[in-house]
């Protein structure tokens, strides 16, 4: 079972106080009018623009510390803020202000034979915990989404971004105070003690859900230890299957875009499945393009017989989310084998079929059990903005509550509302 | 952290084999046509009617064992099957067959500026674990709901109902085999070893969600130990608040029905809150009716000054779900105090206001954070049938995934579906 980090009394007491503040603030923000929430978001955005230099200085201190501790260059890249990145943060908050408020939406009202009228009202979840790693922009993004959806938030960023997060959280607090909302609505933990994460995971009385954003290690720790329900964003081991009936041009464009548009995103294709009858025609056009882009190809035996430069794909390749210019290629007999491969090796994130056969497209959509299933579209579309959610707090690969990109609606739930006129149950 | 029961190798191996069967069956039942699922439900119902005598004999054996072990009379009452109860079980399955199939429903399809069309498709959760206590009828009810919603189920009933559950599960298996579905769709654990429950809680690889149905002890064990997400049905400490503007007649009828229609249901009112200006008028009519029904009254100081026979309500009374002919009564100054009382002592199950004031009714509906919030209706309406869900697997007091009565929809989730015509992301 779970391996639990021990939590000092000091950290526990600090969590209790943060948690109580959050619960009190949650009651207020849940009832806050849309206009007030939007004003707070805009005030936060303004303050971030206004404090640009201060945020950059704080970030410089973090970068200097990272240099001393020898943080990897990938992490340093995520940690670094530029004037553009700070501008994007402010813009993100402004965009969230422009989104429709999901709170209070009433739906499905209908009158029952007993005479009562029953419907559902969308309400915030309560207090949301976000545990994340180096990127300081998550502080503003996550806070904005939680606020707009009427939730209080407790944020725990990476210790390597301590100063940056502190500077950003000051801006957020200003925005709240500006419109008369309590600072407890958005609390950024001001400690680098790692056991603070464990204290959050052990606080179901204060937190309604935890959203971990980070690498596999973080997600696994949170899943194993948490007594609070978790919305997880796991690997994106995504597939494109090119069916025998596919249009070769479309298949080539989609397969190229799904791999090469960006290598490091969770919606990037990691394995290409080709129906045997069409494989040769697709590879003839596609392989030179991959080679030009510098993509390393690893194939099954049949694929290697069709591609000159292609190493042997092992079991590990089918299971791997490369997030890099490497692609596994497998030739399959047809739809059944493709669906079975995805069921066995996929991570339930995003998988696509390229086909012109209606019946096979329907089977693929029904039978592939992933959070997004696509027909004749690139897996790189897996994104809250592209789906029209406006913004996302992550992409859920869980099967409860919400699947796929999680926007404002995913941070709410429906309660039942019942109206009678003196109705008693017989 | 969690106190974990140790699990023997034998139980672990048995869980592994059950889990693998369930996963394989889940893939098949998820794709099964509505007609086939309905035929299976009707075949199960027929078989239960046909095997009525066999089930009664098995139940008699359980009742005899209960007599030896000295099971409480309340538990014996739940355990006992009669020809009528068996008939109701069969009827329940027939009713589930008549409900609309939620699987495959497509909604929210719209075309995005990029040209892709994005929507959502309702899909089963996968494998659902049900852990329950004495009532053998849960075996058929839960199996029926899981099957219709396209899920496989692993059921673990109380050891005191071992023979009854076995006889019922034979009928369910017959129904599955009759229509060519694998028996793995519904598996009833055939062991009385208590550690089998722990093995289920430690099986996130086989189970997508666990629904515990039983007393507080069971729910707490499951919440503390489970590595599988849980949909919980906790206490129903329900309130009725009579606002100063209420119609006295309606208030009296609702308050009487909410307490006295049935004492033992989770939607029964446990605390009555009365606005001071109307309290006297309501109590004058209501107290004699409670006294005639034999309801013991426990009140705050102001309530006791208005009621002759009324003992002193302590802090514990405000917190207690009596499930008995006992009622706590508190006189409050108005809406704010009522909402604060419910926020502090309520269990987030079902709470009602009786009022004729539109603005206060709206505030109550928005601000009371319970799974069902009612206006001018008895809390005893809290029920899946009454809400039009057809049947329920429980009433969720959790805040993620589903709140309130959980019917077929609560046993499903939506995935995203995306259509393009060769769409690539810029």
pLDDT in tens, A159-186: 999 999 999 999 999 999 999 999 999 9
CATH topology of domain B9-231+406-417: Aldehyde Dehydrogenase; Chain A, domain 1 (3.40.605)
A307 Cβ partners below 8 Å, 6+ apart? A283, A287, A297, A299, A329
Rounded to a whole number of angstroms, the distance from the CA of B226 to the nearest CA of chain A is: 9
Question: Chain A residue with minimal CA distance to B7?
Answer: A1
DSSP labels, B213-273: ES-HHHHHHHHHH-SS-B-------EEEEE-TTS-HHHHHHHHHHHHHS-SSSTTSEEEEE
Residue A398 with chain B: CB contacts under 8 Å: 229
Residues 56-115 of A with CB under 8 A from B: 104, 110, 112, 114
What's the pLDDT at A2? 42
When the pLDDT of each residue in chain A is averaged and rounded to a whole number, the result is: 95
Per-residue confidence at B1, pLDDT binned at 50, 70, 90? very low
DSSP labels, A366-412: HH--SSEEEEEE-GGG-SHHHHT-S--S-EE--SSS--EE--TGGGE
DSSP structure class, residue A230: B
When the pLDDT of each residue in chain B is averaged and rounded to a whole number, the result is: 95
pTM of the model: 0.93
Residue A401 with chain B: CB contacts under 8 Å: 400-401, 413
Query: Mean pLDDT across the stretch B334-355?
Result: 97
Give pLDDT tens digits for A121-164. Answer: 999 999 999 999 878 999 999 999 999 999 999 999 999 999 99
Tell me if chain B has a CB within 8 Å of the CB of A194. Answer: no
Q: How far apart are CA A92 and CA A88, in angstroms?
A: 6
Q: Decide if pLDDT at A69 tops 80.
A: yes
Per-residue confidence at A335, pLDDT binned at 50, 70, 90? very high
Tell me if chain A has a CB within 8 Å of the CB of B410. Answer: no
Picking from B123, B126, B400, the nearest residue to A229 by CB comes out as B400
What number is the ipTM of this complex? Answer: 0.94
Query: Mean pLDDT across the stretch B38-66?
Result: 97
Tell me if chain A has a CB within 8 Å of the CB of B218. Answer: no
Q: Decide if pLDDT at A6 tops 90.
A: no
Q: What Cα–Cα distance (Å) separates residue B293 from each residue in A31, B242, B259, B323?
A: 40, 21, 10, 15
Give pLDDT tens digits for A78-125. Answer: 899 999 999 999 999 999 999 999 999 999 999 999 999 999 999 999
Q: Decide if pLDDT at A411 tops 70.
A: yes
Contact between chains at B422 and A247 (C-beta distance less than 8 A): yes
Q: State the first-to-last Cα distance of chain A, in angstroms, to the nearest integer.
A: 48
Q: How far apart are CA B318 and CA B299, in angstroms?
A: 10
Contact A365, A357 (CB under 8 A): no
Tell me if chain B has a CB within 8 Å of the CB of A121. Answer: yes
Query: Mean pLDDT across the stretch B66-74?
Result: 87
Query: Mean pLDDT across the stretch B259-280?
Result: 97
Contact between chains at B378 and A224 (C-beta distance less than 8 A): no
Contact A346, A314 (CB under 8 A): no
Question: Chain B residue with minimal CA distance to A415?
Answer: B371
Of the listed ranges A308-317, B144-153, B225-234, the one predicted with least confidence: B225-234
Residue A415 with chain B: CB contacts under 8 Å: 369-373, 403-404
Picking from A253, A367, A377, the nearest residue to B419 by CB comes out as A377
Question: Chain B residue with minimal CA distance to A119?
Answer: B387
Q: How far apart are CA B259 and CA B350, in angstroms?
A: 13
Give pLDDT tens digits for B220-251. Answer: 899 888 989 999 988 899 999 999 999 999 99
Q: Decide if pLDDT at B330 tops 90.
A: yes
Residues 35-64 of A with CB under 8 A from B: none
Number of A–B residue contacts, CB under 8 Å: 229
Q: How far apart are CA A412 and CA A126, in angstroms?
A: 9
Q: What Cα–Cα distance (Å) separates residue A72 from each residue in A69, A79, A137, A321, B210?
A: 9, 11, 19, 20, 41
What's the pLDDT at A340? 97
Residues 293-332 of A with CB under 8 A from B: none
Tell me if chain A has a CB within 8 Å of the CB of B417. Answer: yes
Rounded to a whole number of angstroms, the distance from the CA of A85 to the nearest CA of chain B is: 20
Question: Chain B residue with minimal CA distance to A398?
Answer: B208
Q: Cα Rg for chain A, rounded, in angstroms?
A: 24
What's the pLDDT at B5? 65
Contact between chains at A377 and B418 (C-beta distance less than 8 A): yes
Question: Chain B residue with minimal CA distance to A250?
Answer: B422
Tell me if chain A has a CB within 8 Å of the CB of B398. Answer: yes
Q: Decide if pLDDT at B2 tops 50.
A: no
Q: How far apart are CA B250 and CA B248, in angstroms?
A: 6
What's the pLDDT at B215? 83
Secondary structure of B26-50 as H, E, C letters:
HHHHHHCCHHHHHHHHHHHHHHHHH
Tell me if chain A has a CB within 8 Å of the CB of B414. Answer: yes
Query: Mean pLDDT across the stretch B52-56?
Result: 97
Contact B355, B246 (CB under 8 A): yes
CA proximity to A425, closest of B232, B341, B238: B238
Picking from B112, B378, B422, the nearest residue to A250 by CB comes out as B422
Q: Give the bridge partners for B274, in sequence order.
A: B242, B331
For residue B142, the SS3 value is helix
Query: Mean pLDDT across the stretch A42-51?
Result: 97
Tell me if chain A has a CB within 8 Å of the CB of B390. Answer: no
Contact between chains at A423 and B114 (C-beta distance less than 8 A): no
Contact between chains at A403 and B413 (C-beta distance less than 8 A): yes
Give pLDDT tens digits for B177-207. Answer: 999 999 999 999 988 888 999 999 999 999 9
Per-residue confidence at A3, pLDDT binned at 50, 70, 90? very low
Query: Mean pLDDT across the stretch B105-112?
Result: 96
DSSP labels, B355-413: -S-HHHHHHHHHH--SSEEEEEE-GGG-SHHHHT-S--S-EE--SSS--EE--TGGGEE
Tell me if chain B has a CB within 8 Å of the CB of A335. Answer: no
Q: How far apart are CA A170 and CA A164, in angstroms?
A: 10
What's the pLDDT at A233? 86
What is the percentage of chain B residues whose pLDDT exceeds 70? 99
Query: Mean pLDDT across the stretch A245-262?
Result: 98
Q: Give the bridge partners for A128, in sequence order.
A: A153, A209
Using CA atoms in the order B323, B325, B326, B329, what is the torsion angle rounded to 10 degrees? 100
Chain B interface mutation, best of A114, A238, A245, A381, highest count of B Cβ atoms under 10 Å: A381
Q: What angle do CA B193, B197, B202 make, to 5 degrees?
A: 130
Q: How far apart are CA B262 and CA B287, in angstroms?
A: 18
Q: Are strands A404-405 and A395-396 parallel, antiparallel or unpaired?
A: antiparallel
Show contacts of A46-49: CB within 8 Å, 24+ apart. A46/A90, A46/A175, A47/A171, A47/A172, A47/A174, A47/A175, A48/A86, A48/A89, A48/A90, A48/A93, A48/A140, A48/A168, A48/A171, A49/A86, A49/A87, A49/A90
Contact between chains at A423 and B377 (C-beta distance less than 8 A): yes
What's the pLDDT at B169? 96
B242 Cβ partners below 8 Å, 6+ apart? B251, B255, B272, B273, B274, B275, B278, B279, B282, B353, B354, B355
What's the pLDDT at A4? 56
Q: What angle do CA B78, B79, B83 make, to 5 degrees?
A: 95
Rounded to a whole number of angstroms, the distance from the CA of B139 to the nearest CA of chain A is: 23
Residue B377 with chain A: CB contacts under 8 Å: 116, 418-420, 422-424
Tell me if chain A has a CB within 8 Å of the CB of B155. Answer: no
Q: How far apart are CA B140 and CA B147, in angstroms?
A: 10
Give pLDDT tens digits for A281-309. Answer: 999 999 999 999 999 999 999 999 999 99
Half-sphere exposure of B207 (CA within 13 A, CB side): 31
Question: What are the residue boundaries of the structural domains of chain B, listed by start?
Answer: 9-231+406-417, 238-386
Q: How far apart are CA B58 and CA B162, in angstroms?
A: 9
CA proximity to B259, closest of B286, B234, B279: B286
CATH topology of domain A238-386: Aldehyde Dehydrogenase; Chain A, domain 2 (3.40.309)
Pick left, alpha or beta for residue B86 (phi over 0 → left; psi -120 to 50 → alpha; otherwise beta): alpha
What's the pLDDT at B4? 56
What's the pLDDT at B3? 47
Q: Decide if pLDDT at B281 tops 80.
A: yes
Picking from B375, B405, B417, the nearest residue to A365 by CB comes out as B417
Contact between chains at B114 and A386 (C-beta distance less than 8 A): yes
């Amino acid at each position: 079972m779970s391996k639990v980090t021990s939590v000092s009394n000091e950290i526990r007491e600090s969590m209790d106080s943060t948690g109580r503040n959050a619960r009190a603030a949650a009651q207020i923000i849940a009832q806050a009018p849309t206009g007030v929430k939007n004003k707070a978001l805009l005030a936060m955005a303004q303050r971030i623009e206004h404090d640009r230099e201060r945020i950059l200085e704080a970030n410089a201190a973090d970068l200097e510390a990272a240099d001393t501790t020898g943080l990897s260059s990938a992490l340093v890249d995520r940690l670094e803020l530029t004037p553009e990145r700070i501008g994007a943060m402010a813009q993100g908050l402004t965009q969230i202000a422009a989104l429709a408020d999901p709170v209070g939406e009433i739906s499905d009202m209908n009158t029952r034979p007993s005479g009562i009228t029953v419907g559902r009202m969308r309400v915030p979840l309560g207090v949301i915990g976000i545990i994340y790693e180096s990127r300081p922009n998550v502080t503003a993004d996550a806070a904005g989404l939680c606020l707009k959806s009427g939730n209080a938030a407790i944020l725990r960023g990476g210790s390597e971004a301590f100063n940056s997060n502190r500077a950003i959280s000051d801006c957020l607090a200003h925005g709240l105070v500006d419109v008369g909302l309590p600072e407890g609505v958005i609390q950024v933990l001001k400690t680098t003690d790692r056991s603070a994460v464990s204290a959050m995971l052990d606080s179901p009385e204060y937190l309604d859900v935890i959203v971990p954003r980070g690498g596999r290690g973080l997600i696994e720790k949170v899943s194993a230890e948490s007594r609070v329900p978790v919305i997880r964003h796991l690997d994106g081991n995504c597939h494109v299957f090119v069916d025998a009936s596919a249009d070769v041009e479309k298949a080539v464009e989609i397969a190229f875009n799904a791999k090469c548009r960006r290598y490091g995103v969770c919606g990037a294709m990691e394995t290409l499945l080709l129906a045997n009858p069409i494989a040769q025609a697709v590879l003839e056009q596609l392989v030179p393009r991959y080679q030009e882009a510098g993509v390393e190809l690893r194939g099954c035996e049949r694929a290697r017989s069709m591609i000159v430069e292609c190493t042997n794909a092992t079991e590990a390749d089918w299971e791997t989310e490369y997030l890099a210019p490497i692609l596994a290629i497998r030739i399959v007999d047809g739809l059944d084998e493709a669906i079975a491969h995805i069921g066995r090796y996929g991570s339930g994130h995003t998988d696509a079929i390229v086909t012109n056969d209606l019946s096979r497209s329907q089977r693929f959509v029904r039978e592939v059990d992933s959070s997004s299933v696509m027909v004749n579209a690139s897996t790189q579309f897996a994104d809250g903005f592209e789906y029209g959610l406006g913004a996302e707090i992550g992409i859920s690969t869980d099967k409860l509550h919400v699947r796929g990109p999680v926007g404002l609606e995913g941070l709410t739930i429906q309660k039942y509302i019942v109206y009678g006129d003196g109705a008693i149950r017989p």
